[in-house]
Amino acid sequence: MFLHTNKLDFRSWVVIWILSVLLLWEGVAWILHLFMSPQQAASRLPYLHDVLAALFRYSGTLAEQGAVTFGNAAIGFAGGTVLGLLLALLMSVAVWVERTLSPYVISSQMVPVIGLAPIVYGIIHNAEWARIIMAAYVTFFPIIIHTLKGLKSAAPEHLELMRSCGASLPARYLKCLLPSALPGLFSGMKIAAPLAVTSSIVVELMGAPDGLGVLMVSSLYYGSAQIGMFWATIMLSIGIGLTSYLAISLAERWLTPWQPEFRAKGGRAA
Amino acid sequence: MMNERVMVSRKGEEGATAAVSGTASIGESIADSVRLPSPSSTNIHGHQGQAEQRRLGSSIRKRSIGLRLLPWLAGALFLTLWQLRLFHQLFSLESYQLPVPSAIAASIRENAEMLFRYAMYSGTEMLGGFLLGSLLGALAASGASFFPTSGRAAVAVMSALNAVPIVALAPIMNNWFGDGIWSRIAVVAVITMAAMAVSLFKGLTSIQPQYSDLMGGLAASRMQVFVKLRWPHALPSLFAGLKINMSTSIIGAIVGEFFIASQGLGYLLSDQIRLANMPLAWSCIVIAAVLGIVLYEAVVLAEKRLTPWNRAHTDP
């Protein structure tokens, strides 16, 4: 640690960086307002305090529509997680299932599954269900891949010990395999959460009757009159994505405290 | 009996990576492209690899050939049932809602020229944003690696970009860069930047203490430590970041085109759905999938060429 020169700790640096990003935002907005007409500048980057004011002013509508988007995304996310977990367990129990499905699950990572959102909405024509199904669908694949990887990271020595003690299959899963799969499950969930929100909003863009995506599109079409609203919806969707990510990270820290990143010292080399 | 089952499942794990449908390398690479791989998990993998080799018999080899054919059979069965309209009967769908594979294939043939042009356009957006974003992320991670605490905090703040829904970025970038190709390139660049910074920073800083002690003992300068120790050590993480970015960049490009674009696969897709021309919409998906897989494979190939020593470490 010969590079260690400053005395500030990690947390205060995080705060410093966040504050400097916010300051940078205000500064850039100020420069834009100097050189452009207010309308142009506001559509590029409005003042941060203007955005916050708009968030406050439209908080009723935003909360209502945000709840629709977030609720559907969350239901789909939960359903997709449960299904993905079940299928991952099935794949770890039965080899032939894994063999049959794994190439498709793997290549699903390279395929823009979100592109299916408009198609799914075109097929069901029910905004609620389309959002839930898309969120579940997008969640499903990362969960399977990462849970399966976690299940396989169980130390063979532990499994051998359990077998030699005559542990049953459920006992092996509950006591050894599932705990070792938890970190994988969480990393899958962290990848999937923003995607679930995105897919839910994409369905709304394609003509659902309510939700944040609708607000976003309509405020875009009204142009400069709705700039505050537009930025408020953007900030809210970023907020939803970040909150769900942070919530999952907290749950991860709480449920899997043994992971090296969470240990106080010594987990991180150099 | 139990023992055999475990043996088979271990073998299955290996086979899943070494098998089928031309995705041999994809398997292992996806498996190691998890975000934020922890140092301990690689250790576990190392142990497991040894135990695996000890335990592997030759008796399973024959069965593995049969298992290797399974995905192909499943895929063919799925397509046949789809073609025979089983799904239409199950979910009471009509052909105009869910076109059969032959209709999609016919539509691809008819519109081959346009699809190719749009695929090139979307591919340019993807690659441009991918390269720009990965470069920016790599620069950020390299800079941050010189400052342990503040750098780690900066990367943590940057990683918040990972959680930003792409749909929120697309209209902002549209306001900034107009509705030309640059707005999608910017969307892709922003979403790929964070993943690269996080992955590479982890690689640059998770150096085994013995090595950095040795470099310190030899009075190496910070720059020498960076060039001779951190950078070579971080190459696997660089490629892990590139692989994550390749798969997110196609989503970024397509979703960006949903918003405002006059060309590209995403534009064609949303446009054709408004016109209720489902076969062409599905062919957009198919072409986008092919594009995604081809570009991903290119990254995997580059990884194999550039870090040949790394295979032993990343094999799951």
Instruction: Please name the residue of chain A whose CA is at the shortest distance from the CA of residue B98.
Output: A123
Expressed as residue numbers, the domain containing B90 is 2-99
Instruction: Tell me: do B114 and B51 sit in the same domain.
Output: no
- The CATH number of the domain holding residue B256 is 1.10.3720.10
Answer whether residue B249 shows pLDDT above 50.
yes
CB contact under 8 A, B71 and A213: no
Q: Are residues B200 and B135 in the same domain?
A: yes
The CA-atom distances, in angstroms, between A189 and each of A80, A182, B52, B181, B280 are: 10, 10, 29, 32, 33
Chain A partners within 8 Å of B15 (Cβ) = 99
The reply to whether B169 and B304 lie within a common domain is yes
Instruction: Kindly report the pTM of this predicted structure.
Output: 0.77
Q: How many CB atoms lie within 10 A of CB A90?
A: 13
Residue B315 inside a domain? The answer is: no
Q: Please report residues of A whose CB lies closer than 8 A to that of B16.
A: 98-99, 102-103
- Please list the residue range(s) of chain A that carry CATH number 1.10.3720.10: 46-262
B59, B8 contact by CB (below 8 A)? no
Residue whose pair of structure tokens reads 């408004």 in the numeric block: B274
The pLDDT value given to residue B314: 42
Q: Does any domain span residue B316?
A: no
Min Cα distance A77 → chain B (Å) is 15
Bigger pLDDT: A255 or A123? A255
Do residue B42 and residue B157 come from a single domain?
Answer: no
Same domain, B73 and B172: no
CB pairs under 8 A between A and B: 249
Is A46-262 a domain of CATH 2.40.50.100? no
Which ipTM score applies to this complex?
0.79
pLDDT > 60? residue B230:
yes
B95 and B109 part of one domain: no
- Residues 191-210 on B with a CB inside 8 Å of A are 205-209
Q: Which residues of B touch A202 (CB under 8 A)?
A: 167, 255, 258
The CA-based angle B123-B124-B130, given to 5 degrees, is 90
Tokens of A148: 């399966």
Q: Residue B58's pLDDT is what?
A: 52
B57 and B151 housed in the same domain: no
Torsion B133-B157-A257-A197 (CA) sign: negative
For B170-203, the pLDDT digits (tens) are 888 888 887 788 989 999 999 899 889 988 998 8
Give the integer Cα–Cα distance in Å for A246 and B198. Answer: 16
Is the CB of B84 inside 8 Å of chain A's CB atoms? no
Token pair 């918040």 is found at B160
Residue of chain A whose alpha carbon sits nearest to that of B173: A44
Q: Does B1 touch chain A (CB under 8 A)?
A: no
Q: Which of B29, B158, B166, B174 is the mutation pick for testing A, counting most A CBs within 10 A?
A: B166
Final residue of a structural domain among B84, B99, B114: B99
Mean pLDDT of B114-143: 93
- Is A194 in contact with B292 (Cβ distance < 8 A)? no
Tell me whether residues A156 and B52 touch, CB distance under 8 A: yes
Average pLDDT over residues B224-241: 87
Cβ-count burial of B53 within 10 angstroms (0-12 exposed, 13-18 middle, 19+ buried)?
Answer: exposed
Using one digit for the tens of pLDDT, what is the confidence trace for B14-26?
333 333 333 333 3
Least confident of A21-25, B26-30, B87-91, B235-239: B26-30
Partner-chain residue, chosen from B27, B34, B254, that has the shortest CB–CB distance to A106: B27
**What gap in Å lies between CA B62 and CA B67, rounded to an integer?**
9
Asked if A107 lies within 8 A of B293 by C-beta distance, the reply is yes
Tell me the chain A residues in contact with residue B35 when contact means C-beta distances shorter than 8 Å: 187, 190-191
Q: Which of B10, B167, B218, B237 to mutate to test the interface with A (most CBs of A within 10 A)?
A: B167
pLDDT of residue B61: 60
- Better pLDDT: B27 or B106: B106
Residues B119 and B168 in one domain: yes
Q: Give Cα B309 to chain centroid, integer Å.
A: 21
Last residue of a domain, one of B99, B124, B140: B99
Specify if B58 maps to a domain.
yes
Predicted confidence (pLDDT) at residue B292 exceeds the cutoff of 80: yes
CA distance A227 to A100: 50
- Indicate whether B314 belongs to any domain: no
In the block, tokens 């900030």 appear at A235
The count of domains in chain B is: 2
- Give the residue-averaged pLDDT of A151-180: 85
Residues B80, B171: one domain? no
- Element containing residue B120 per DSSP (H, E): helix B112-145
CB A236 within 8 A of CB B303: no
Do B265 and B293 lie in one domain? The reply is: yes
Interchain pair B163, A193: CB under 8 A: yes
Of B52 and B275, which is predicted with more confidence? B275
Of A195, A192, A205, nearest to A233 (Cα)? Answer: A205
- Indicate if the pLDDT at residue B65 is higher than 80: no
B97 in A contact zone (CB under 8 Å): yes
Domain termination residue (choose one: B43, B75, B99): B99
Structure tokens at B21: 């449908």
The token duo for B7 is 């043996």
Mind giving me the DSSP string for B235-257? HHHHHHHHHHHHHHHHHHHHHHH
What is the average pLDDT score of chain A?
84
Name the helix (H) or strand (E) containing A230: helix A227-255
Closest residue of A to B167, CA-based?
A: A198
Query: What average pLDDT does range A208-215 have in this prediction?
Result: 85
Cβ under 8 Å to A: B residues 163-192: 163-168, 171-172, 175-176
Give the amino acid at B49: G
